[in-house]
Amino acid sequence: MGNIPFIIFFEDLRLVCKLDALGREILGIAIPAILTLAADPVASLIDTIFIGRLGAVEIGAVGVAIAIFNQASRITMYPIVSITTSFVAEEHSSEKMSIELAQKVEANRLNNLDLEASATSNHVKRKIPSATTAIIMGTLLGVAQALLLMFGAKVLLRFMGVKTDSPMYIPARQYLTIRALGSPAVLLSLAMQGVFRGFKDTTTPLYATVVGDAMNVVMDPIFIFIMRLGVRGAAISHALSQYLIALILFLRLMQQVNLLAPSVKELQFGRFIKTGFLMLTRVIAVTSCVTFAAGLAARQGPIPMAAFQICLQVWLTSSLLADGLAVSGQAILAYAFTEKDHKKAITTAIRVAQMGVVVGLGLLVIVGGGLYFGAGVFTKDKNVLHLMYLGIPFIAGTQPINTLAFVLDGVNFGASDFAYTAYSMIIMAIASITSEYLLAKARGYIGIWYALIIYMGLRTVAGVWRVGTATGPWRFLRGRMLS
């Protein structure tokens, strides 16, 4: 292989499950992050279960609406969360290094007093300009998203193949426009999650998310069945829960960060916008693949769309569990690159990638068995169940490559390699959407799932290639291989 170090992914395989210092650090960040990331899709699954009792038309309609909402949210969500995590981690790491330098300079005068511990004990708030910037941008983007979804619902639904004469149109529009009211809270809470991730704190977002989603689960049957609001009730419940999450996170963040301290120059809007544009391009490419697939399913009618919606929710819920490892890898790597600790950087990248594969293999068994025996929880419609069973091999079989793809995304984000992740994903998206169109036309419902396998496979290749070829921020690996 010469100087091309693909072999590094197989180094120290015996350590993949070892709870050494690095393993504990990774899991300490990843486990709360996994639970946080799983909470919202699980809440959506519960929504799906309740709405499934209303009928195939309603669940298909909500499936289309959720696909549109998720597309809009992810376009803004991932850029702001990923950028905020890296920027806050860099600023916090630099702040810590400055404190350590001050400790050395002032050691004699202060009798070796730990300045950072002293600051903490006196409840001195951190000065992290990126935190304030993220909150401002999150709020503005949330309002913009709400207006777009509310006033553009008809056009967006038509684009997804749901026209005004479709039985899915009215419930889909009702769900989408009401849930859009929660967009400002969604984007604000996600921006704050990025701040906490930058501090390597994934426990606080977990607490807020669990409280909010628990409220959603309790209110769902009340609004849907007792108050007889149907799909509107599900949307109201979900929107209210998002505002509760945002409130909890904001109150906790105010205790730790001086949000009013930075000047306009310190807010770095230019840096956020420049990097955000790259991430926005990437996210549009990523989410377009899934949204286009949902649109193809919707065009086949309510039954295929209902089956696809249930399978897609399970697929995304299980796959996104690996995002917890991605969050952990990104946060640790951002600190390592800021401190120029290349050994820590590559060791972390290797470990989280290997752990991702292990998690994926476990999910293959759990998702496959769980969906096979538990499909009836989501619907009693025999036609929907038949199509769901056809999709199980695809949903379960893709878990290892899905988890590896997500983890490697986090690795490259941690290295602030935003340009590569954006440009490579554009190429992957063009190939994936083309395959979706052709395979759906040739094989129908099953063809869509074949195309989604191609999509996730290409994402995995792109992630492996950057580290494995020792290019970009990973150039230091070439010297490592030569030595």
What does the pLDDT look like over 261-276, one tens digit per residue? 667 777 778 888 888 8
Side-chain half-sphere CA neighbours of 47 within 13 A: 34
- Alpha-carbon torsion 328, 330, 336, 342, what sign? positive
The CA-atom distances, in angstroms, between 5 and each of 2, 319, 356 are 8, 27, 19
Check if the beta carbon of residue 56 is closer than 8 Å to that of residue 381: yes
User: Confidence class of residue 112 from pLDDT cuts 50, 70 and 90?
Assistant: low
- Could you tell me the pTM of the whole model? 0.78
The CA-atom distances, in angstroms, between 187 and each of 23, 81, 91, 145, 213 are 31, 9, 22, 9, 16
pLDDT > 80? residue 125: no
Q: In this prediction, what percent of the chain has a pLDDT beyond 70?
A: 90
User: Confidence class of residue 121 from pLDDT cuts 50, 70 and 90?
Assistant: very low
pLDDT > 60? residue 114: no
pLDDT > 60? residue 341: yes
Mean pLDDT of 435-452: 91
User: Confidence class of residue 103 from pLDDT cuts 50, 70 and 90?
Assistant: low
Question: What's the CA gap between 332 and 338, in Å, rounded?
Answer: 10
Lowest mean pLDDT across 51-55, 75-79, 259-263: 259-263
Nearest to 363 by CA among 78, 38, 99, 76: 38
Q: Where are the domains of the chain?
A: 6-482
The CA-atom distances, in angstroms, between 468 and each of 41, 136, 349 are 32, 37, 11
Question: What's the CA gap between 389 and 19, in Å, rounded?
Answer: 38
CB neighbourhood size of 422 (10 A): 20
User: Confidence class of residue 41 from pLDDT cuts 50, 70 and 90?
Assistant: low
Question: What's the CA gap between 483 and 473, in Å, rounded?
Answer: 18
Predicted local confidence at residue 470, as pLDDT:
84
Lowest mean pLDDT across 3-12, 91-100, 299-308: 3-12
pLDDT in tens, 384-422: 888 888 888 888 888 999 899 989 999 999 998 999 999
Mean pLDDT of 163-168: 92
pLDDT in tens, 352-393: 999 989 989 999 998 888 888 888 887 788 888 888 888 888
Check if the beta carbon of residue 62 is closer than 8 Å to that of residue 231: yes
pLDDT > 80? residue 160: yes
What the block records as the tokens of 133 is 């910037």
Predicted local confidence at residue 119, as pLDDT:
45
- Mean pLDDT, rounded, of the chain: 85
What the block records as the tokens of 473 is 């921020």
